[in-house]
């Protein structure tokens, strides 16, 4: 992609000073920064909960926490990591990068952008405050199956529902903003099929979000009515059906899974082409693959509930449709490998994380295929095998994608190179500990350890101790990441506009100075 760019660095219109800069900002970079720091903080909160879980599971028996608190930890760990870390981090990256990648000065709806961010601290403030209430926070798993989350829930479930509503509004507003920006603010000459893949991945993700977040809002509203207004959506006593909850929840939940991975596909595609010094292989098949994954995600939801007692035809339908998803996903992996093939590859930290992403996400994909096989799923369902599977796609998948993106664009954001040696150290510690943590989970799961257990039989003890050690190392290593980021903000070798060798041709963001001007493109660039 070649561009003709004119950048003017206007001295006026800079950021306001002090706290009000952050409270009232409508600037896409400031809001992106807020999103990224928010998700970083939530990563440590959700991560501490994981540490509590792993500390308790280090040995069989109840040592540190009681099951009631353990259940609150698993529930909040899941909710925070999904809604408070992965999703806001992707929105933060979108805020920073989309205007710069499409040659726009800012997002289309800047005031809405401010609102959608500031809703998030409210939502999570409410959610986390429930942990300090006498009855405790939500304890019914992040999938909050009725009737455990309705008739049998602590009364704080009402706060949980309110907080999910706010998160939903925030995501929907953010997505509307992103789609409007992509459709209306692209530089002249940038047709849809010339958009960078990260922009494509976010366009598809944003559509998924506005399609399913309202369904989530609907399902929690039904819960609210069942709990407080005597309706019977999920209560068999009044003619409702608890299984209905699972159907509606997973109708939201499965597209949600792809919401958490598609933007990572986009990021990793950019990084692999940059450090292979070779354009991405099969650009259009990458776009079609993401679109088909998104469409298929609406017809596979019941593969999360193969043991609820569906008719044979239903089980087979959801098995086949789920297996189909392996085709576009496989195509993406093949494309990444083909991009590396005959490239000129260097191994900077973002590339290391991206290579690990491709390898480990593929392992998560394999266990995904195994889980799709219904008869075998009878043995895997709700065991640690499932925990291993979704952590492989979410940690070395989504989270590695985010970390890779952060390293990749950090010099652009701050104007300083991060410390490459520390970055590599961070990668290797993370890579090893993530595998020590999540790989043995496959084994304990197959051997029969169910998930969401605060205590377990003696045969699982050795693997669990190993998993806990891995988890502690993984958790501590992320403090190193925090240090690297702060160090890069404060000091470091000055970054050139193109930052990475040859990146100047790869996207509009590399034509701007590092750090870029406050209003990215005040004059629209023209694509040749």
Catalytic positions, written as ranges: 77, 106, 142, 170-171, 254, 256, 258, 269, 303-304, 329, 332, 451
Between 16 and 236, name the residue whose CB sits nearer to other proteins: 236
Residues ≥6 apart with Cβ < 8 Å to 295: none
Between 38 and 159, name the residue whose CB sits nearer to other proteins: 159
Residues of span 48-107 touching other proteins by CB under 8 A: 60-63, 67-68, 71
Q: How far apart are CA 211 and CA 118, in angstroms?
A: 22
For 459, other C-beta atoms within 10 Å of its C-beta total 12
Q: How far is CA 94 from the centre of its chain?
A: 12
Among 110, 218, 504, 515, binds other proteins (CB under 8 A): 218
CA angle 251, 257, 263 (to 5 degrees): 130
Both tokens of 436, joined, read 């020590």
Between 131 and 480, name the residue whose CB sits nearer to other proteins: 131
Nearest residue to 245 (alpha-carbon basis) of 237, 231, 235? 235
115 lines the binding site for other proteins (CB under 8 A)? no
Q: Are 332 and 291 in contact (CB under 8 A)?
A: no
Residues of span 298-337 touching other proteins by CB under 8 A: 307-316, 319-320, 323-324, 326-327, 330-331, 333-334, 337
Among 244, 436, 466, 489, binds other proteins (CB under 8 A): 244
Between 2 and 284, name the residue whose CB sits nearer to other proteins: 284
CA distances from 518 to 28, 99, 160, 355 (A): 9, 12, 37, 33
String of contacts with other proteins for each residue 264-303, x by CB under 8 A: ------------xxxxxxxxxx------------------
Residues of span 18-47 touching other proteins by CB under 8 A: none
Q: CB-based burial of residue 251 (10 Å sphere; 0-12 exposed, 13-18 middle, 19+ buried)?
A: buried
121 lines the binding site for other proteins (CB under 8 A)? no
Q: How far apart are CA 257 and CA 303, in angstroms?
A: 13
Residues of span 132-151 touching other proteins by CB under 8 A: 134-135, 139-141, 145, 147-148, 151
Among 129, 346, 421, 491, binds other proteins (CB under 8 A): 346
Among 86, 204, 340, 417, binds other proteins (CB under 8 A): 340
158 lines the binding site for other proteins (CB under 8 A)? no
For 205, other C-beta atoms within 10 Å of its C-beta total 27
Between 259 and 355, name the residue whose CB sits nearer to other proteins: 355
In this structure, the chain runs to a length of: 528
String of contacts with other proteins for each residue 361-380, x by CB under 8 A: -xx--x--xx--xxxx-xxx
Residues of span 454-493 touching other proteins by CB under 8 A: 454-460, 462-463
16 lines the binding site for other proteins (CB under 8 A)? no
Nearest residue to 350 (alpha-carbon basis) of 286, 273, 435? 273
Q: How many residues form the binding site for other proteins (CB under 8 A)?
A: 127
Both tokens of 521, joined, read 């493109």
Residues of span 425-454 touching other proteins by CB under 8 A: 443, 446-448, 450-454
Between 262 and 358, name the residue whose CB sits nearer to other proteins: 358
User: What is the Cα gyration radius of the chain?
Assistant: 23
Both tokens of 325, joined, read 């998803």
């Amino acid at each position: 992609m070649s561009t003709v760019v004119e950048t003017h660095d206007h001295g006026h219109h800079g950021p306001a000073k002090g706290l009000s800069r952050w409270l009232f900002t409508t600037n896409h970079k400031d809001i992106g920064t807020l999103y990224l720091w928010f998700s970083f903080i939530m990563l440590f909160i959700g991560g501490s909960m994981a540490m509590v879980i792993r500390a308790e599971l280090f040995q069989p028996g109840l040592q540190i926490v009681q099951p009631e608190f353990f259940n609150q930890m698993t529930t909040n760990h899941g909710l925070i990591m999904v809604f408070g870390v992965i999703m806001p981090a992707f929105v933060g990256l979108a805020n920073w990068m989309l205007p710069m990648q499409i040659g726009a000065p800012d997002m289309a709806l800047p005031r809405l952008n401010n609102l959608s961010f500031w809703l998030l601290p409210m939502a999570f403030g409410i959610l986390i405050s429930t942990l300090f209430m006498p009855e405790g926070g939500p304890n019914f798993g992040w999938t909050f199956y009725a009737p455990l989350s309705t008739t049998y829930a602590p009364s704080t479930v009402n706060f949980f529902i309110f907080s999910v509503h706010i998160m939903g509004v925030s995501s929907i507003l953010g997505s509307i903003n992103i789609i409007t920006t992509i459709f209306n603010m692209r530089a002249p000459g940038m047709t849809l099929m010339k958009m960078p893949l990260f922009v494509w991945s976010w366009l598809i993700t944003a559509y998924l979000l506005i399609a399913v977040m309202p369904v989530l809002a609907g399902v929690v509203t039904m819960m609210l009515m069942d709990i407080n207004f005597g309706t019977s959506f999920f209560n068999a006593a009044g003619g409702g059906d608890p299984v209905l909850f699972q159907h509606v929840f997973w109708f939201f939940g499965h597209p949600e899974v792809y919401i958490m991975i598609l933007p990572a596909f986009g990021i990793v595609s950019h990084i692999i082409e940059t450090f292979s010094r070779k354009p991405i292989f099969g650009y259009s098949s990458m776009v079609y693959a993401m679109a088909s994954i998104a469409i298929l995600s609406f017809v596979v939801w019941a593969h999360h509930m193969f043991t609820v007692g569906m008719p044979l035809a239903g089980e087979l339908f959801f098995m086949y449709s789920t297996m189909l998803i392996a085709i576009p996903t496989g195509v993406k992996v093949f494309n990444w490998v083909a991009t590396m093939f005959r490239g000129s590859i260097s191994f900077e930290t973002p590339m290391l994380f991206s290579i690990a992403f491709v390898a480990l996400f593929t392992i998560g994909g394999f266990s995904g295929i195994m889980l799709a096989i219904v008869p075998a799923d009878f043995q895997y369902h709700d065991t640690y095998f499932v925990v291993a599977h979704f952590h492989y796609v979410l940690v070395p998948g989504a989270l590695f994608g985010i970390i890779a993106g952060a390293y990749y664009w950090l010099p652009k954001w701050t104007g300083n190179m991060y410390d490459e040696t520390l970055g590599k150290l961070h990668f290797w510690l993370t890579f090893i500990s993530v595998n020590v943590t999540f790989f043995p989970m496959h084994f304990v799961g197959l051997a029969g350890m169910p998930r969401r257990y605060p205590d377990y039989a003696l045969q699982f003890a050795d693997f669990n101790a190993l998993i806990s050690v891995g988890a502690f190392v993984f958790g501590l290593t992320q403090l190193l990441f925090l240090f690297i980021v702060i160090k890069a903000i404060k000091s470091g070798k000055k970054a050139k506009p193109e930052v990475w060798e040859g990146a100047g041709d790869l996207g509009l963001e590399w034509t701007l100075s590092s750090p870029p001007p406050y209003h990215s493109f005040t004059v629209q660039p023209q694509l040749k």
